[in-house]
Structure 1
Amino acid sequence: MEQQHSGTEFFIDGNGVADLGLIATPGAHELTALIDSHLVRWANRKGLNKETFIIPSECPRFSSGDGKGVIKDTVRGDDLYFVVDVGNYSCKYRLFGSENSMSPDDHYQDLKRLIQAASGKAHRITVIMPLLYGSRQHRRTYRESLDCAYALQELQSMGVTNIITFDAHDPRVSNAVPLMGMDNVMPTYQVMKAMFKHIPDFKPTPDSFMVISPDEGAINRNMYYASVLGVNLGMFYKRRDYSRVVNGRNPIVAHEYLGESVEGKDVFIADDIISSGESMLDIGYELKKRGAKRIFCNATYAIFTAGLAEFDKAYADGIISGVFGTNLTYRTPDLLSREWFHEVDVSKYIAYFVAAINHDMSVSNIIDPHAKIEALLQRYGVK
C-alpha cells in the first residue's frame, strides 16, 4: 500500500470535534478545491452526503486600495482551516485606476481580514500556509526586522491554534510561538512518487545515483533523501563576497564541492526554493563538468523569479534533465507547459492533516513518510 490511510477512517463519527470548514484566501482557491475534493470523497464513502467543506468568502477592495474580509456563511462553532498562498503574485487589484499584483504582505493582510470576519465565533482556527510568510528573512544580523516571527505571534494573538507549513526555510522560527502548534511538513514521499512516475529507468541505487546538497543550509533534507534511498551524499558550499550586498544578499563567488565522484551517475539536488535559479544552474554546470549523467532538481517552491529562459537553455543543452516542484504555491502557465517541469501534487497530504486534526488524531504517521517510501521502493523493485 502506498498510503497508510484510506482517508475514510477520519469520518467514522460525523465531522470530528466540530463541523469542518475550509476558507480559501484570494489566490489559494485552486489548492483549497483539491484539498476539498479529497475530504468530500472520504466523507461520502462514510455516507455523510457532503457536497463541499468550503465556506464561501471574499476580500473585496475599494478603489482607494482599502479592503475587507467577508465570510458568506455561518462559522459559529466550526473547526476552521484557512488556506493562504502568500506567493501568488498573479492576483491583481486596482488602486487609483492602476492594476497591482498582490505581494506577500497583501496576502497576509487578507488572511487576517478573514480571521477577523470569523469574529471569534469559530471552535478552533488552523492556518494552512505552505509558503511561510516572511520566512526567507529568518535571522537578524544587523538592525533588521523579523517579519515571520512577529507574524506568527500576531496570528497566535488572533486566536490561531495551529499552523501547517511545508519545508520552512528555517523551522526554528517556531520558537517564536512555543505555545502554539506548528507542523513543518516535508513532501519527501510525494517527490519520490513523482520521480518514479516521470523519470524513465529511475533506479536510485548506490552505484548509479547520488544525492547532492546545493549548500550547507539544505543538508538535512538531502541527507534524509540519501538515507532512505541508501545512496551516497555530496555537498556544495557557497563561497560568498561578504564585502558587498546585491539584491539583499552577499553575492556568491564560487560553488565548492565536497564528496565522492559523480561521474556516470544520475544526480538529485533538493532545496526549499528555486528563486532566480542561478545557484541551482551553477551547480548543474559544475556537476556536468565532473561527469554527472542526468541531473534532476527539486524545490518545494519553484517560483523562477528571473524567468524560465536559462532553464530552457540548460535543458536544451542537456545540463538538467528535469525539475520537480510542488503545487503549494502559484505556478505560471508557462512553467506548467515546460517539458522539463514535473508537478508534485501535495493536496492529498494536506487533506490527511486536516482530517486528522479535525478528529484530534495523531499526525505522527502522516509527518513521518519513511514507511511509505519503503513501500514505494519495494513496489518499483529498488529494495
Structure 2
Amino acid sequence: MYERLTILSGRGNPALATEIAEYLGIGLGHVDASNFPDGEVSVKLNQNVRGCDVFIVQSTSPPVNDNLMELLILIDACRRASAARITAVIPYFGYARQDRKDSGRVPITSKLVANLIVQAGAHRVLAMDLHAAQIQGFFDVPVDHLYAAPILDKHFKSMDIALEDLVIVSPDEGSIKRSLQHQENLGGSLAIVDKRRANALETRQANLIGGPIDGKTALIFDDMITTAGSITGAVKVAREHGARRIYVCATHGVFCGPAVERLNASQVDGLVVSNTCRDASNPLLKNLTTVSVAPLLGEAIRRVHRNESVSYLFD
C-alpha cells in the first residue's frame, strides 16, 4: 500500500513520529542521533533509503538550535543516501516570529531557516499552524500548511457548551482571523483583547473589544504559548470583564520560562494544546489536556505519498 514510504524522526518529537507511523501502519525508520563531546550533532541512518519517499518528522521546539541543526543533518544524510524525495515534516516551525522587517537592522529569520531547509535538500515541507501564513512563500519548494483547528474545536464541541453562553476571544488583533475560524466552527460571539507590546518579553493588555462576556464561557485561542505572557494577560482581561469560565487553547505548547507558573496562577478552567511540541504534556500544568495531531499529519503524509489531494485537510 505504501511502496517505498519511510518515516524518520529526530529527537525533536519522537513520540509524535511514532504515532504517525502507527496511524499509517508502518514501522518508524531506524536513526541513531547523538552528540559529540563538543555538542555537535551526529546522525546515522540505520536502514536503506535509496529510492524511498522519505518523511522526516522534526519539530524545531526547544532546544531550538539543536533540533533545527538535527533536521538539516537528517535531510543531508537522506540526500546523500539517494532518497528519491525528502519531505520535512515540521509540526512546530521555530524562528517564525521574525517574518518581516518591522524595524531597522533586524533579520528575517523565518526566510533564513526556509533557505537552510531547502539548501539542505528538502523537496517539500509539511507544516502545521505557522506563526504567519506568508512563511509558506519563503520556501522555494511546495509547502502543505495544515491547521489544528478542526481537532481543537472537536474537543470543545464534545463539552456541549450552549451557544448563547459562548464567546470566542482573540488574545490580540493578529489572531482575529484564527478566532473567526473557530467562531465559524463553534458558534458564539467574538471579542478581541487590545494588546500592546512593550518589548520582546513584555506585553500589556487592558481593553476588550466586542463581547459582552459577562457571565459567559470564554474560549481564548492562540497559535502558540511560549512564556504565556500574552495569553495570561488575555485571561486577566476576560476575568475582569466577568467571564464565568475561561478555557485557553493553542496549537503549540512550547511552555518556556515562567509559562507553567503563569498558567497555574491564572487558574483557568482548562488548558488545551496539541502534541506538536515534545514537552506539550507538561505534568506540572493544572487542567491540561493534550490532543494528538498524528492522524491529521499521518493522513497528509499518506496523501502526499500517493499523489492525492490534501486540500481538504487545510480547512
Judge same fold: TM > 0.5, yes or no.
yes
The aligned counterpart of 2:312 is 365
- Counterpart selection for 2:243 from 292, 300, 306: 292
| Shift in Å, 1:365 | 1.8
Q: Give the letter for the 2:114 counterpart.
A: L
- Report the residue type matching 1:135 in the other structure: A
Q: What is the CA–CA distance in structure 2 between the aligned matches of 1:294 and 1:131, rounded to whole Å? A: 29
Corresponding residue number in structure 1 for 2:59: 85
Q: Distance in 1 between matches of 2:54 and 2:31?
A: 13
Contact kept? 1:149, 1:173, Cα under 8 Å? yes
Match for residue 261 of structure 2 among 306, 309, 332: 309
SS of the equivalent of 2:212 reads coil
- Corresponding residue for residue 344 of structure 1: 291
SS in 2 for 1:361: coil
**Residue number in structure 2 paired with 1:19:** 4
Q: Name the CA distance, whole Å, in 1 between partners of 2:226 and 2:36.
A: 32
> Shift in Å at residue 340 of structure 1?
0.9
Which secondary structure does the structure 1 equivalent of 2:232 belong to? helix
The code of the aligned residue for 2:271 comes to V
Residue 54 of structure 1: how far off its partner (Å): 1.7
Q: Are the aligned partners of 2:146 and 2:313 in contact in 1 as well (CA < 8 Å)?
A: no
Q: What CA deviation, in whole Å up to 9, does each residue of 1:256-293 have, x standing for no partner? A: 21103111211111001111212222221221221111
1:220 corresponds to which of 154, 177, 182: 177
Seen in structure 2, the aligned counterparts of structure 1 residues 357 and 236 have a Cα distance that, compared at 3 Å, is same
Return closer, same or farther for 1:64/1:239 CA change in 2, 3 Å cut-off: closer
Alignment correspondent of 2:86: 125
Match of 2:125 among 143, 159, 163: 163
Larger gyration radius, structure 1 or structure 2: 1
1:184 equivalent in structure 2: 145
Partner of 2:98: 137
Instruction: Report if aligned partners of 2:245, 2:269 keep a CA contact under 8 Å in 1.
Output: yes
State the percentage of identical aligned residues. Answer: 21
- Alpha-carbon shift at residue 363 of structure 1 (Å): 0.4
SS at match of 1:68: strand
Indicate the SS of the match to 2:47.
Answer: coil
2:115 to 132, 143, 153: 153
Q: CA deviation at 1:120?
A: 5.3
Cα offset, 1:34, TM superposition:
0.4
TM-score by length of 2: 0.93
Query: Which has the larger displacement, 152-161 or 211-220?
Result: 152-161
Pairwise CA distance, 1:165: 1.2
User: 2:214 pairs with 260, 263, 279, which one?
Assistant: 263
* One-letter amino acid of the structure 2 residue matched with residue 72 of structure 1: N
**How far apart are residue 332 of structure 1 and its match?**
6.1
Match of 1:373? Answer: none
Match of 1:68 among 36, 42, 45: 42
SS in 2 for 1:323: strand
How many corresponding residue pairs?
312
Distance in 1 (alpha carbons) for counterparts of 2:313 and 2:259: 35
TM superposition shift of 1:19: 0.8
Amino acid at match of 1:308: V
Q: What secondary structure is seen at the aligned counterpart in 2 of 1:236?
A: strand
Instruction: Give 1:227 shift.
Output: 1.8
1:203 aligns with 2:164: no
Q: Deviations over 1:307-353 (max 9, x none)?
A: 423322322xxxx21011010102266x2464411111111111100
**Distance change in 2, residues 1:311/1:253 (3 Å):** closer
Distance 1:62 1:240 in 2: 40
CA-CA distance at 1:24 after TM superposition: 0.3
| 2:270 maps to 1:322 | yes
Mind listing any 5+ residue stretches in structure 2 that lack a counterpart? none
Deviation string, structure 1 residues 170-192 (Cα, Å, up to 9, x no partner): 11122222x41112211111112
Provide the rounded CA distance (Å) in 1 between the counterparts of 2:34 and 2:178: 40
- Of the three residues 165, 179, 188, the one matched with 1:231 is 188
Q: In the TM superposition, what whole-angstrom CA distance separates every residue of 1:105-156 from its partner, at most 9, and x where no partner exists?
A: 1111111111121215111111111111311222222212222212212222
8 Å contact kept, 2:224–2:254: yes
Work out whether 1:354 is the aligned partner of 2:301.
yes
User: Is the Cα–Cα contact under 8 Å of residues 69 and 116 in structure 1 kept in the other structure?
Assistant: no
C-alpha change, 1:303 and 1:66, in structure 2 (3 Å) is closer
Distance (whole Å) between structure 1 residues aligned to residue 107 and residue 153 of structure 2 = 36
Give CA-to-partner distance per residue, 1:46-83, whole Å, 9 cap, x none. Answer: xxxxxx33210122222122333210111011000001
Structure 1 segments of 4 or more deviating over 6 A? none
8 Å contact 2:173–2:194 — kept in the other structure?
yes
State yes or no: 1:54 paired with 2:28.
yes
Aligned to 1:109: 69
Residue 360 of structure 1 aligns to a residue in which SS?
Answer: coil
Structure 2 distance, partners of 1:190, 1:25, is: 25
